[in-house]
Amino acid sequence: MKKIKIIGGGLAGPEAALTAARLGCDVGLYEMRPHRSTEAHQTSDFAELVCSNSLKSESENSAPWLLKQEMRRAGSPLLEEADATAVPAGHALAVDRELFSARVAARIAAEPRITVHREEVVELRENDPEIVTILASGPLTSPALTKELQRLTGADHLAFYDSISPIVDATTIDMDKVYFAARYDKGTADYINCPFTKEEYETFLDALTTAENVEAKDWEKFPVDGTANKLQYFEGCLPIEETARRGRDTLRFGPMKPVGLTDPKTGRWPYAVVQLRQENLRADSYNLVGFQNHLKYGEQARVLRLIPGLENAKFLRYGQIHRNTYIHAPSLLTETLQLKAHPNVMIAGQLSGVEGYTESIASGMLAGRYAAAIASGNAPTPAPRASANGSLTHYITHAETKKFTPANITFDLLPPLETELRKKMRDKKERHKLQCDRALAAWDEWLR
């Protein structure tokens, strides 16, 4: 049996390692931290959640729920730990970051088939017949390994920008000015809502759009159209100041949307709102949902304290925007996440073009299963197209080449219902339920 070498200790790497080990394979798990860190990580822990602490919706028959249900049925190790370390977050699955990482690390340490190597990998041995490699080094892959990947793929990697939201000390929030609520009362009222009047919103917007940005570092830039090195943000993860510059009401229809958040003091929706989500089980810190930004720390402190309830806030971490890299999967990967030109090398996680924590874990889970089949001398069978996992992989490997961008799981990626059926089922919730039922049936059959 071939050995499996997994590079990267974020989310996809540990998930792949634990999955392959459970299937009887010997695994070497390589992580360069703490010997070499990245521009975004703060620890050397496995499964560190760099950005938010949310694994998205748990609302039944939603696309994120479907993806997680498939993962649960397949016995995803990291999703089991996420469920075990969940913190109140309304209808979403959010975790205690530190406890989640600690439990993943303990699970890896307890697995005798996994050997951990704390060292930087700078060489991909694609021609070694005894090794199956899973590259899950993440969006901040080291320059040396990125260069090696470029050598292997023969193509330049692409880039976009991802985010880190600010975190505030819960004891410094003025609770007299805020209220707990979940949008449309879905789930439990676990979010702290900071309501704005029109005047407060206009003042905040003026301060935000005139605040001073952080000067871009060389590592954040990349060539645009073969000319100059520039910042180029990912449209799905814009900094709030960039969103605000696109129109006075843009934030009110985005991260500051007040819809469904009735203020108990007025009985109405506020003009705009900032939501705070619990960071850990101790509930001693909250992150500002959707408030990634590229402002200087001093400017963040000044602007964010204009948010009602945060006038005297202590920020435990400020927001950031950082560059993420990913390969051009449609031209490079098969549906079993293998490089077309080098089938003993696989790409998983955000490096493959999936976007989001849950999607990265799901990618690692599939890579672990596929690698275990290859290591045993068998041909891996792709996840079914009808499933959420299969649809996500189908997208990154079949997207239109010139328009490929990273993707979260959505119903748009799943196979559409038949035309006549769509006409009969006018209720979108009913259509989504049928798509979920079909996906889970196909997934269960594939697992069997």
Q: Cite the annotated binding site by residue number.
A: 8-13
What residues form the annotated binding site for FAD? Answer: 8-13
Contacts with 34 (C-beta within 8 Å, 6 or more apart), sequence order? 44, 118
Structure tokens at 115: 């050997």
Contacts with 240 (C-beta within 8 Å, 6 or more apart), sequence order? 208, 251, 255, 290, 291, 292, 293
Residue with tokens 């696989």: 346
| Upper half-sphere CA count for residue 163 (Cβ side, 13 Å) | 26
**196 in helix, strand or coil?**
strand
Q: How far apart are CA 190 and CA 277, in angstroms?
A: 7
Q: Please name which of 396, 354, 380, 359 lies closest in space to residue 4, comparing C-alpha atoms.
A: 380
Contact 174, 309 (CB under 8 A): yes
Residue type, 168: V
Q: How far apart are CA 236 and CA 361, in angstroms?
A: 19
Stretch (H or E) spanning 19 = helix 12-22
Q: How far apart are CA 329 and CA 319, in angstroms?
A: 29
User: What's the DSSP call for residue 436?
Assistant: H
Residue 224 backbone dihedrals phi, psi, to 5 degrees:
-115, 125
Contact 4, 134 (CB under 8 A): yes
Stretch (H or E) spanning 307 = none
DSSP string, 321-364: EEEEEE--HHHHB-TTSBBSS-TTEEE-GGGGTB-SHHHHHHHH
Q: How far apart are CA 34 and CA 109, in angstroms?
A: 17
Residue with tokens 């919730």: 429
b (16+ CB within 10 A) / e for 383-411: bbbbbbbbbbbbbbbebeeeebebbbbeb
Residue type, 352: S
CA atoms 74, 77, 79, 83: torsion sign: positive
Structure tokens at 193: 């809502």
Contacts with 282 (C-beta within 8 Å, 6 or more apart), sequence order? 96
